[in-house]
Amino acid sequence: MNDLLEIKLLNKSEDDTLRIHHLPCKIDHNGQAQVDKYFEGNVKEKRADNNVHGQQNVGESSEPQSNTVIFESSFRGRPLQGKQVNFDEELKNQDLLDVTGYIINEDKISVHRFKEFTTWTLDQDPQLEQDIQSSLDWIQFSSIIHQEIKPNQSL
């Protein structure tokens, strides 16, 4: 499945409570939606197993010891598992990501800045989701390889 993350906001948002969900589907709707009532109201938390591949290391307790929180919900009858992606942790000193969009009769501008979002998967553990993690790693790697190196600076 080709991932396309497209976020459209109709007006500039100063609201810090804006929550972004990356769902594994396309929704053909451009209007208001009661996400907090019909989707977020059904989200349940559970602790993730530290060992996502089902193997136990020697001397390791069989009890889950991860602090990772996995969310469970459903959308249109399909079960979803999600995890929170925090840019503060992932991008370490990089600029936070801006949501850009078109405000009617204006040029494309930054309409909201966010620090986290929830990514959802249908048929796999969200800890195994690599597309978004690879993208975040690339942002960090790209900033490193494009840094200006001064003549006396060591790598």
Domains and CATH numbers, the chain: 21-49+63-144 (2.40.128.680)
Question: What is the chain's pLDDT, residue by residue, as a tens digit (155 residues)?
Answer: 444 445 555 555 555 667 788 888 888 887 788 888 888 888 898 876 654 444 443 344 444 445 678 899 988 888 998 888 876 655 544 444 555 555 455 565 555 666 778 888 887 777 666 676 677 677 777 777 877 777 776 65
Among the residues of the chain, which ranges form H helices? 35-38, 87-91, 131-145
pTM above 0.75, yes or no: no
Cα torsion 84, 86, 90, 92 to 10°: value is -170
* Per-residue DSSP letter, 21: E
